[in-house]
């Protein structure tokens, strides 16, 4: 007996909207089972993971803080994914953005100009875009697979970060920890919500989301991006450049990731550290797909993923959940969403085998 997937003539819009909710419910059910097998109070652990981030102002403000980098990176990735350009190396582009931005306070520790943090943001954007441009060059010039190139560039970025923090940028007064000097006040992003750690990077993320919506939903450039990526031959007949789609997709996603990295070092960290990313580059892939690759959907899914981050931290303390269990929940969310979306777009057809 054999099963095939046959594309539906018309996918149900209602089921397409329900797919993320079904994925969340399925993830919750499997997570409950995993927590029970680990010997934890599964109901309490699930409550802490999913609900506790919204039960206090402090926890919710931390959710908003985590939302900013996830939203920035995911919006950039979604532009490429819709054009069939799969940038898996946002983690490295975020790290390069953080490095470029940190160069200003590291080399000018006594500078007090009010333009210090804006300059850091611009350098962060430049760093992420340049790192992604390397993959764009290899893809368009040599037809190299951008998935492998961006992924390997992430490893290179990590090693570059380690070299800087263990060598020339290491804080001499940092008790031998691999970190840069603490940045001065003028290098820090202004606080958005008094009494919390939420800074104006959240505004950056919202502005980038609106720009992504206009680009992909309301502009000819967005239309060319999608056509250039999904149907390069048709794009050629129409005068659209497939190479242009690759370059624009990768550079935009790299710039967004670079801005996220710059905002991290100029925000909650206040210095360049090894833990600058915390896996945002990979988690943003889940965020982008869970949001249906739509700018508005991504704003909702980034808030959900940020809540899982904060809920996971709470669960590790109060429910003794291992960090790996939280990562498994994040992965399950993507797997169940992809299954749900596949079943919305395709139907399973069974073929009976014919014996001779």
Instruction: Over range 24-44, report the average pLDDT.
Output: 91
Contact in structure between 75 and 209 (CB atoms under 8 Å): yes
Q: What is the CA radius of gyration of the chain?
A: 22
Q: What is the mean pLDDT of residues 115-122?
A: 96
pLDDT of residue 333: 84
Model pLDDT for residues 264-316, shown as the tens digit of each residue: 999 999 999 998 988 899 889 989 988 888 999 999 999 988 998 898 888 88
Distance CA 313, CA 329 (A): 13
Helices (H), 167-266: 201-218, 220-230, 232-237, 242-264
The full set of domain ranges for the chain reads 1-40+321-355, 67-319
pLDDT at 203 over 70: yes
pTM of the entire structure? 0.90
DSSP codes joined into one string, 70-113: HHHHHHHHHHHHHTT-----HHHHHHHHHHHHHHHHHH-TT---
CATH 1.10.10.10 for domain 67-319: no
Sign of CA dihedral 197, 200, 201, 203: positive
Percent of the chain having pLDDT more than 90?
Answer: 59
The pLDDT value given to residue 352: 65
pLDDT in tens, 63-74: 999 999 999 999
> Per-residue pLDDT tens for 188-200?
999 999 999 999 9
Quote the CA–CA distance of 178 and 192 in Å, as a whole number: 29
Alpha carbon of 263 to those of 60, 81, 130, 250, 267: distances in Å?
A: 19, 24, 17, 20, 6
> Each residue of 127-160: pLDDT tens digit?
999 999 999 999 999 999 999 999 999 999 999 9
């Amino acid at each position: 007996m054999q099963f095939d997937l046959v594309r539906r003539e018309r996918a149900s819009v209602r089921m397409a909207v329900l797919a993320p909710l079904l994925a969340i419910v399925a993830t919750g059910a499997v997570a409950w089972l995993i927590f029970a097998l680990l010997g934890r109070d599964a109901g309490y652990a699930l409550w802490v993971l999913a609900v506790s981030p919204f039960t206090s102002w402090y926890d919710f403000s931390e959710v908003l803080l985590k939302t900013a980098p996830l939203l920035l990176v995911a919006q950039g990735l979604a532009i490429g994914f819709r054009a069939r350009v799969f940038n898996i190396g946002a983690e490295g582009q975020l790290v390069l953005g953080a490095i470029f931005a940190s160069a200003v306070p590291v080399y000018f520790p006594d500078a007090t100009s009010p333009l210090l943090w804006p300059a850091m943001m611009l350098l962060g954007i430049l760093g992420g875009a340049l790192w992604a441009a390397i993959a764009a060059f290899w893809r368009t010039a040599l037809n190299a697979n951008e998935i492998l190139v961006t992924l390997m560039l992430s490893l290179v970025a990590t090693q570059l970060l380690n070299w800087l923090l263990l060598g020339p940028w290491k804080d001499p007064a940092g008790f031998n920890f691999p970190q840069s000097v603490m940045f001065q006040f003028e290098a820090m992003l202004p606080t958005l919500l008094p009494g919390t750690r939420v800074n104006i990077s959240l505004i950056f993320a919202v502005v980038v989301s609106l720009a992504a919506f206009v680009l992909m939903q309301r502009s000819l450039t967005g239309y060319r991006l999608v056509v250039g990526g999904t149907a390069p031959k048709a794009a050629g007949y129409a005068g659209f450049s497939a190479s242009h789609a690759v370059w624009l997709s990768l550079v935009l996603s790299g710039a967004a990731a670079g801005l996220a990295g710059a905002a991290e070092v100029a925000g909650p960290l206040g210095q360049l550290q090894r833990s600058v990313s915390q896996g945002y580059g990979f988690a943003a892939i889940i965020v982008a797909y869970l949001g249906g690759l739509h700018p508005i959907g991504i704003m909702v899914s980034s808030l959900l993923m940020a809540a899982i981050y904060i809920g996971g931290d709470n669960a590790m303390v109060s429910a003794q959940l291992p960090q790996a269990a939280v990562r498994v929940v994040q992965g399950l969310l993507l797997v169940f969403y992809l299954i749900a979306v596949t079943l919305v777009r395709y139907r399973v057809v069974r073929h009976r085998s014919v014996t001779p």
